[in-house]
Amino acid sequence: MIAVKAGADPALSADAARPPRAARPEAKEHRMATLAAAARPRYAVPVRWLHWLGFILVALAYLFIELKGYVPKGTPLREALKQYHFWAGLGVLLLLLPRVWARARHGTPPITPTPAGWMELLGRLTHLALYLFLLVQPLLGLVVLQLDGGSVNFPGGLALPSFLAAPNHELAHDFEEIHETLGEIFYWVIGLHIAAALWHHFVSRDDTLKRML
Q: Footprint of ligand HEM on this chain (CB under 6 A)?
A: 51, 54-55, 58, 61-62, 65, 69, 82, 85-86, 89-90, 92, 103, 108, 123, 127, 130-131, 134, 137-138, 141-142, 144-145, 152, 176, 179-180, 183, 190, 193-194, 197-198, 208-209, 212
Could you give the C-alpha distances from 23 to 13, 20, 27, 29, 133, in angstroms and in order?
A: 18, 6, 7, 11, 54
> Which residue is at the shortest CB distance from ligand HEM?
141
CB of 174 vs ligand HEM, minimal distance in Å: 13
Phi-psi category of residue 10: left, alpha or beta, with phi > 0 → left and psi -120 to 50 → alpha: alpha
Within 10 angstroms of residue 29's Cβ, the number of other Cβ atoms is: 10
Is residue 23 classed as helix, strand or coil in its secondary structure? helix
Residue whose CB is less far from ligand HEM, 32 or 198: 198
CB of 9 vs ligand HEM, minimal distance in Å: 53
CB of 126 vs ligand HEM, minimal distance in Å: 8
CB-based burial label for 138 (10 Å; 0-12, 13-18, 19+): buried
Residue whose CB is less far from ligand HEM, 164 or 197: 197
Q: How far apart are CA 155 and CA 212, in angstroms?
A: 34
Residue whose CB is less far from ligand HEM, 10 or 117: 117
CB of 124 vs ligand HEM, minimal distance in Å: 8
CB of 68 vs ligand HEM, minimal distance in Å: 7
Residue whose CB is less far from ligand HEM, 8 or 70: 70
Closest of 142, 163, 173 to residue 61, by C-alpha: 142
Residue whose CB is less far from ligand HEM, 28 or 154: 154
Name the H helices within 41-168: 45-68, 76-106, 117-147
